[in-house]
Amino acid sequence: VESPVLKVENLNVLSDKGVLAVKNVSFEVYPGEIFGIAGIAGSGQEELAEAIAGLRKPLRGRIIIDGQDVTEASPRKIFELGVAYIPEDRIGVGILPNLTVWENIVLRHHRYPPIAKNMFLLNFNEIYGFVHRRIKELNVVTSSIFAPAKTLSGGNIQRLILARELAENPQRKTKLIIAVYPTRGLDVGATEYVRKVLLRQRDKGIAVLLISEDLEEILMLSDRIAVIHNGEIMGIVSAEEANIEEIGLMMGGALKKTPQKVEEKPKT
């Protein structure tokens, strides 16, 4: 039986205001599946994503990535385990807006060879090739790799984040993508592009945790869907048996499905 890439057990997470935002949440995400979390914005999904990415310490419960307990781990450790984090706030969290395009792409890779020669020196020949390969692969449109990242369009900022987060090195292979409202505020072309990237990664065997309030997007991309309301999981359904009316009721808190074999991966 395939092991989950991500396992969340009875997770409780506080919001910035000290209110319980995530309440006893449990689920698993397997290799090669998109696990969608549907919910009205502010239902605890942002705090949940931040806890998994190491940016917010849980109050109780466990987070296990690739068999390792990372409940107390730093964002850097979680990144090194192969977790790509596509945050909701692209400009505030996703990039350093005043740094250049190339600096933003190298940002989380500068400690590791081949980009790092040693602890103090960067290998600029390697960086040049790395940045150009990432820009080409993710179709980032920029006047120059030396332009400040804030000069890019919203869609290109999202591509820049994907270019950095999905980059691999000899020590790091992407295993899990946490995508928080990945297409919010993007135009039609950029939205379609980001969705295709997520599907392509899933088809490569990567696990994707997709958080979105766009129900159409969740239904289109997900293999399984969990519905969150007021910090609680109201039910987990496979995409084939999901129906919009039922999901809408769960999102509003009017329906809670009992977990019947919830954690079983759907038979493909």
Q: Is 192 within the bounds of a domain? A: no
Q: Compare 62 and 113 and report the one with higher pLDDT.
A: 62
Tokens of 229: 């309301």
Using pLDDT thresholds of 50, 70 and 90, give the confidence band for residue 108: confident
Per-residue pLDDT band for 268 (boundaries 50, 70, 90) equals very low
What tens digit of pLDDT does each residue of 40-86 get?
Answer: 999 999 999 999 999 999 999 999 999 999 999 999 999 999 999 99
Q: How many domains does the chain have?
A: 2
Note whether 66 and 143 are same-domain residues.
no
Q: Which residues contact 19 (CB under 8 A, 6 or more apart)?
A: none
Q: Which residues pair with 84 in a beta bridge?
A: 177
141 with 253, same domain? no
Q: Are residues 51 and 179 in the same domain?
A: yes
63-66 contact pairs (CB < 8 A, 24+) = 63/6, 63/7, 63/8, 63/9, 63/11, 64/4, 64/6, 64/7, 64/8, 64/9, 65/5, 65/6, 65/7, 65/175, 65/176, 66/5, 66/175, 66/176
CA 213 – CA 184 distance, rounded (Å): 9
Handedness of CA 18, 19, 24, 26 (dihedral sign): negative
Contact by Cβ (8 Å): 192, 200:
no
Write down the mean pLDDT value for the chain. 92
Instruction: Specify whether 146 is located in the same domain as 17.
Output: no
Rounded to whole angstroms, the Cα distance separating 31 from 78 reads 17
Task: Please check whether residues 153 and 181 belong to one and the same domain.
Answer: no
* Residue-range definition of the domain harbouring residue 57: 1-82+174-187+197-268
> Any long-range contacts for 188-195 (C-beta under 8 Å, 24+ apart)?
189/155, 190/153, 190/154, 190/155, 190/156, 190/158, 190/159, 193/139, 193/155, 193/159, 194/155, 194/158, 194/159, 194/162, 195/220, 195/221
Domain end, chosen from 111, 139, 172, is at: 172
Question: Residue 26: in which H helix or E strand, if any?
Answer: strand 20-29
Element (H, E) at 255: none
pLDDT of residue 172: 86
| Total residues found in the chain within this entry | 268
Could you tell me the pLDDT band of residue 113, with boundaries at 50, 70 and 90?
Answer: confident
One domain for residues 214 and 262:
yes
Nearest alpha carbon to residue 68 among 60, 80, 57:
80
Give pTM, 2 decimals. 0.91
- The answer to whether residues 178 and 264 belong to one domain is yes
**178 & 70 share domain:** yes
Residue 264 counted as domain residue: yes
pLDDT tens per residue, range 116-139: 777 678 888 888 999 999 999 999
Among candidate residues 214, 233, 202, the one with its CA nearest the CA of residue 29: 202
**Do residues 116 and 40 share a domain?**
no
